[in-house]
Amino acid sequence: MKEYIGVDGYQALAKVLHKMTPDEVIDEIINSGLRGRGGGGFSAGKKWKICKNIKAEKHYVICNGDEGDPGAFMDRSIMEGDPHGVLEGMMIAAYAVGAKEGYIYVRDEYPLAVTHLEKAILDCERSGLLGENILGTDFSFSIKIARGAGAFVCGESSALMKSVAGEVGEPRATYIRSVVKGLYDEPTVLNNVETLVNVPTIIRKGADWYKSIGTKKSTGTKVFSLVGKVRNTGLIEVPMGITLREIIYDIGGGILDDRPFKAVQTGGPSGGCIPESMLDLPVDFDSLTEVGSMMGSGGMIVMDDTTCIVDVAKYFLEFLVEESCGKCTPCREGLYQLHKLLEKICSGKGEMSDIEKMERLSENVMIGSLCGLGKSGPNPLMSTLKYFKDEYIAHIKDKKCPAGVCPELITYKILDNCTGCMACIPACGYDAIEGKKKEVHVITQDKCTKCGACYAVCNFDSILVS
């Protein structure tokens, strides 16, 4: 806590409590252009304003730390490394909307984040920054931690609030807004970790300073987790409007082993795959949505030519099928059927009519689903169909996987340049390779399970996958 105060921590809180009215705080956040970093991209200040103007017995503030996207760990890093920044953002939001109670919803897989947040809350309570009459004012506020149980759907606002209240984490109809009826049916502001941690800096330095970073409609910076087939992986913070090419090649250092770039997937399981032709696309809320992807919470997965796009779509659909709460039929049954069709195509049994079936079914799922999980669930499939349809056709018509990934559509063959080093023989767990030392080996196709172990240990590029 001393370290946080040493870098102007809680100065923003003191400023709003002693020099600003709640309306002035809200106006400053609106003027900054801060948009929700959890994926929705809605104006944070406008959300606060709506909530404040709802007359009710209680108002609540919730911080969404339920980061469930594969390959995403931005919020985790912030909660573990800057817990006081999150708390100060929540306090300012609570002052602005008139809330007395707040919750931080943290996924159960983040025990270190919980430990650091608990210590930060305790330090604030002992220092008079949480509790009654904070900093000698009439403002009182308390924060509790609610731990999720690992359900991806609880990242959706209404499901999250039911989970906080001790109920089953299922979403409700989207026309009921949480700012009007949220936790315990009271007006509730829900912002994600990264959104809230931006608030103290905006209050300290001003909306004009914040707007000087990023683009006109997407101000400030964004934290991404850059992973996949890229040299430099990890967390990056970049100004909004930077291009995908700058992120992948300048910051990420380019593709591993100098292989050809194929696609980058943004927005988590509900995002889309963006092809090489769009590498100069600016990274902001609206640009990503226009091409069939989304900002999401900030996951960014880079793929090279050894990645099968059809298999990627199948992976994300499988994830969403498992994480669907099952409350509404379009999501529960629609995503399941889409996954089955992708399995059919990857196994070499697909038909050209399956593409039309998937397109029609995807449209119905997006229209009819109750919450964002179903409404955006077909995005990975639809974006890959849009930009990589040739790979689907290769799987269906040619019965080939161009990337050499789908087991039923590939064959492993040892070439004549085999040195007979015998490294592949013990690596094969199915006795499918025969050969003597310094002689060309042979793979018995009936025994080969396409596991790829031989390919992984061969140092002479002597194994062809076709």
286 beta partners: none
Q: Give residue 239's Cα distance to chain centre.
A: 18
Burial class (CB in 10 A: 0-12, 13-18, 19+), 368: middle
pLDDT of 170 reads: 85
Cα–Cα distance measured from residue 244 to residue 264, given in angstroms and rounded to the nearest whole number = 8
Cα–Cα distance measured from residue 333 to residue 353, given in angstroms and rounded to the nearest whole number = 20
pLDDT of 248 reads: 96
**What percentage of the chain's residues is helix, strand, coil (to nearest 5)?**
45, 15, 40
Count Cβ atoms below 10 Å from residue 43 Cβ, excluding itself: 17
Q: In this predicted model, what pLDDT tens digit does every residue of 290-317 receive, in sequence order?
A: 998 888 778 899 999 999 999 999 999 9
Q: Is the dihedral of CA 110, 112, 118, 120 positive or negative?
A: negative
Cα–Cα distance measured from residue 86 to residue 297, given in angstroms and rounded to the nearest whole number = 16
CB contact set of 205 (below 8 Å; sequence gap of 6+): none
pLDDT of 263 reads: 96
Q: In this predicted model, what pLDDT tens digit does every residue of 326-352 receive, in sequence order?
A: 889 999 999 999 999 999 999 999 999
pLDDT of 74 reads: 87
246: DSSP letter: I
CB contact set of 280 (below 8 Å; sequence gap of 6+): 243, 244, 245
Q: Are 376 and 153 in contact (CB under 8 A)?
A: no
197's enclosing H/E stretch is helix 193-205
Nearest of 383, 310, 386 to residue 348 by alpha carbon: 310
Cα–Cα distance measured from residue 127 to residue 145, given in angstroms and rounded to the nearest whole number = 19
Q: What is the mean pLDDT of residues 16-42?
A: 93
Q: In this predicted model, what pLDDT tens digit does every residue of 109-163 receive, in sequence order?
A: 899 999 999 999 999 999 999 999 999 999 999 999 999 877 888 888 888 999 9
160: DSSP letter: H
pLDDT of 92 reads: 98
CB contact set of 396 (below 8 Å; sequence gap of 6+): 345, 350, 351, 352, 354, 355
For the chain, the first-to-last Cα distance in angstroms comes to 58
Mean pLDDT of the chain: 92
Q: Are 273 and 380 in contact (CB under 8 A)?
A: yes
Residue % of the chain over a pLDDT of 70: 100
| DSSP 3-state of 190 | strand
Q: Are 371 and 153 in contact (CB under 8 A)?
A: yes
Q: Which residue has the tokens 């906080």?
A: 164
Q: In this predicted model, what pLDDT tens digit does every residue of 377-419 receive, in sequence order?
A: 999 999 999 999 999 999 999 999 999 899 999 999 999 999 9
Nearest of 113, 99, 108 to residue 178 by alpha carbon: 99
pLDDT of 115 reads: 96
Angle at 20 between CA 59 and CA 81, to 5 degrees: 70
The domains of the chain, with CATH numbers, are 2-211 (3.40.50.11540), 221-304 (3.10.20.600), 309-398 (1.20.1440.230), 411-465 (3.30.70.20)
Alpha-helical runs (H) found in 64-165 = 74-81, 83-97, 111-127, 157-164
pLDDT of 192 reads: 93
Nearest of 322, 302, 186, 183 to residue 245 by alpha carbon: 302
pLDDT of 299 reads: 85
464 beta partners: 413
pLDDT of 256 reads: 95
Cα–Cα distance measured from residue 157 to residue 172, given in angstroms and rounded to the nearest whole number = 9
Q: Are 285 and 33 in contact (CB under 8 A)?
A: no
Cα–Cα distance measured from residue 158 to residue 167, given in angstroms and rounded to the nearest whole number = 11
pLDDT of 337 reads: 97
Q: What is the mean pLDDT of residues 348-373?
A: 93
Q: What is the mean pLDDT of residues 168-182?
A: 84
The torsion angles phi and psi of 243, rounded to 5 degrees, stand at -85, 160
pLDDT of 323 reads: 85
pLDDT at 71 > cutoff 80 = no
**CA separation (Å) from 101 to 46, 82, 144, 389?**
20, 21, 8, 50
pLDDT of 270 reads: 82
pLDDT at 175 > cutoff 80 = no
Q: In this predicted model, what pLDDT tens digit does every residue of 233-278 receive, in sequence order?
A: 999 999 999 999 999 999 999 999 999 999 999 988 888 999 999 9
- The pTM of this model reads 0.90
pLDDT of 325 reads: 87
pLDDT of 212 reads: 96
**CA separation (Å) from 133 to 15, 290, 447?**
15, 47, 74
pLDDT at 174 > cutoff 80 = no
